[in-house]
Amino acid sequence: MKKIIPIALVLIAMTFDMNAQEIKIITSVESIVPSGLGRSRIIDAQEDKDFEEYTSEQTEDDNSRNKSKRGTIRVKNFEETKLLNFYNIAGIRFQNIAANDAVISSKLTNMLKEGWELIFVTSGVEADAGDNDSQGIFITRYVFKRD
């Protein structure tokens, strides 16, 4: 009888360890191209990839590379939600920013309803910023987890 309790505790602990968490990343890309010529979207991959298929170990003695083709990394099944560009012909468009906030909020709210927990947000801007800078994006990644 005394042995049953420790064995039961070990089995219960093992069931908790076996429930790995899922991680999901949602990315919003908002164009900061003048005149509204860019494309803005929310991207949500609908398929999983195993990083180990694309990982190789480099050593001093062995310069072998992972033999898989880069094309196999591509995700062909993804959800694409349209957003508005930050700029139009007249310049910065605050209504577009408010509209994007509403659409992104809707997507994040839906993720929370599906049991995902937002754990991290990171963003950045890519732009040349030179004299004739006519390109750029504002990208935000929303990292979720679910048990």
Residue (of 21, 147, 35, 52) closest to 93 by Cα position: 35
pLDDT tens-digit series, residues 43-62: 999 999 888 888 888 877 76
Distance of alpha carbon 42 from alpha carbon 142, whole angstroms = 10
- State the pTM of this model: 0.75
**Which sequence spans correspond to the domains of the chain?**
19-43+80-146
For residue 112, pLDDT beyond 70: yes
Report the b/e string of 10-30 with b at 16+ CB within 10 A.
Answer: eeeeeeeeeeeeeeeebebbb
Type of residue at 45: A
Distance of alpha carbon 96 from alpha carbon 100, whole angstroms = 6
User: What percentage of the chain reaches a pLDDT higher than 70?
Assistant: 75
pLDDT tens-digit series, residues 113-147: 999 999 999 999 887 666 666 678 889 999 999 99
